Amino acid sequence: MPTVRGPVIAFFTSAWGMLTIAIVAAAVGFFASQLVNQSLGADHESSLQKLRDSYEKRLSNERERVAVKAKEYDIIDAASQRLQEDNQELLAGMSALESRVTFYKRMTSQKAANVPLAIELFELLPTKDPKVVRYRLLIVRSNASGNATEGRVKVKVSAGSRQIELPVDQPRFTLRYYQQFSGEWRLPDGFNPERVDVQVRSGANSLDRRYKWEIKTR
């Protein structure tokens, strides 16, 4: 018995209908794939953002750790330098104490008793000004009684046949056991000393010493 098909069914079962269905299906599939891709793209972008945030946080933490370590290193380095300075000061103090003990032992020895007046130290030190030199002079006296005596010191420097007298701080002094002198000398322009003559007069004792003009380097 023949089947009666309506116009709609007849259209969809025809070649044109099948083609239309295929086109519609393709369009639906295309738009569906676009929606899926957009959804995946949004998820991918979100994942990348989370990954960037995570690495930035880790980088910030590492920077903070490095800053803390750098600060700790600065503290340790400063403490180490301070310790070295303290050790140097301690060694210098011990050396000065040993020198002082040796000095007093020498002053109280029998040999010193036979030398009533002596120059224990004379040195020339540089300054920032090349025309200015700093001097240090230490005069010692062995005297068991400890009675003081007055004295005078005079310093002359020579360059060839030219000789000049340099001023000494408090050239007149009262000497009991020792007397130290220190100060600065400014040399005349063009004057290059070769030797230094130190003259000390104290009561019946006199002392004359000649030194080469040498400026110590520190």
Model confidence pLDDT, tens digit, residues 184-207: 999 988 899 999 999 998 877 888
**The residue count for the chain:** 218
Give this prediction's pTM: 0.49
- pLDDT, position 153: 92
The closest of 172, 154, 171, 153 to 163, measured between CA atoms, is 154
Residue 80: CB atoms within 10 Å: 10
Residue 151: CB atoms within 10 Å: 21
Q: What token pair was written down for 12?
A: 């969809």
Intervals of the chain under pLDDT 70: 1-44, 86-87, 89-115, 143-146, 218
Mean of all residue pLDDT scores within the chain: 75
For residue 205, what are the β-bridge partners? 202
CA dihedral angle for residue 68, residue 71, residue 75, residue 77, rounded to 10 degrees = 110
Report phi then psi at 69, rounded to 5.
-65, -40
- pLDDT, position 66: 80
- pLDDT, position 203: 77
CA dihedral angle for residue 100, residue 101, residue 104, residue 108, rounded to 10 degrees = -170
